[in-house]
Amino acid sequence: MKAVHFGAGNIGRGFIGALLSQSNYETIFVDVNAELIDELNDKGAYRVELAGTDDSIEVTNVSGLNSLEDEEKVIEAIAEAEVITTAVGPNVLPMIAPVLAKGLLEKNSNGIVIACENMVGGTEILKNHVIENLDEEQKEWISDRISFPNAAVDRIVPNQNQKDPLTVMVEPYYEWVVETSSINSELPDIKGITYVDDLTPYIERKLFTVNTGHAVAAYLGKYNGYLTIKESLDDSNIKNKIQGALSESGGVLIEKYGFNPDEHQDYIDTIISRFENPDLSDEVTRVGRGPVRKLGPKDRLVRPALEFIRLKKEEPAHLAEVIAAALDYKNEEDPEAVELQDLIREKGKISAFCEIAELEKDHPLVQSVEKYLV
């Protein structure tokens, strides 16, 4: 069995690539990082360390292709693969779509594409980018043969500096949930995947808990002068505010999907304990990067806050405070942080927030956020 995975970074190698290898797939990584590609081809294997333990996983039967230099080989690999996965980041999906489209059109059998991205509806978005590169006949051909199921993924892969460029540390915990409703072929036998009929509750549970909690720790941590997520969690005041924000987002999940309140609180506690693992601690600037996207109407802060107002008819005070802290987020090395502060200097914090979150100034969330602005 053969798999093609776009993205040879830490998440690609430490999460998706590791599970594909453990499921006996020959895995071909596609990336623009020439050093990583050369190392993969030279060694054909790498090690995944499990944070907080002495355990590790040896990932074998892997190789790499440089998408800038080896497009024809990438197309050939896609054509031969049973499974194509991605972990490239939302902004890169449209960049890989043209070569993916070419490869899929060369397939002689059914295939499956799964975007393992930190976003809602990632595979569907990737499919739309692929379709943009096709004519009507090709679109019909792709629709008949290729499945594009959405997925929810969760595994913390901290920023790290390894002597071996291929070695990567990840947390032992992971979740990879794939929706079956759009799969028109046999389900891939991949270790670690949970197949479900409806992915929405799992996507939102992850987005409203892991992603929201991480953002709270990052933006409140940065606002209070901390450098790492672990430092933020060591501040009991911030930890309490994370619990508060996740209680608000959790209330939305319980109301919408019927999650058991006690079980969901256990899930929240598990997530926070993961953040507290010193081997997983990440810099607040890495977790908080991309504040414009993260303040968007469908992302981890504004969306649960809007849902909370709609369902609970209450003010989401904890989420509003975090949004205010995010508006104060500054990092000259983060293009979106620079963009955010430029917009704030031009229009002010409230107008900037309204533009990014697509809200009117008289919206209850805007009024709530305004209470916490300095």
* Annotated binding-site members: 3-14
SS3 state at 48: strand
d(CA 372, CA 353): 13
Query: Sheet harboring 26-31: ordered strands across?
Result: 62-66, 26-31, 2-6, 83-86, 111-115, 146-147
Interatomic CA distance for residues 325 and 216, integer angstroms: 9
SS3 361: coil
Binding-site residues for NAD(+), in ranges, read: 3-14
CA distance 306 to 290: 20
Q: In 245-278, which positions are buried (b, 16+ CB within 10 angstroms) versus exposed (e)?
A: bbebbbbbbbeeeebeeeebbebbeebbebbbbe
Residue 42 makes CB contacts below 8 A (sequence gap 6+) with none
Q: What is the CA radius of gyration of the chain?
A: 21
- Rounded to a whole number, what is the largest CA-CA distance in the chain? 60
Task: Give the number of C-alpha atoms closer than 13 A to the C-alpha of residue 287, restricted to the C-beta side.
Answer: 29
Cα 243 from chain centre: 21
Question: Do the beta carbons of residue 209 and residue 248 sit within 8 Å?
Answer: no
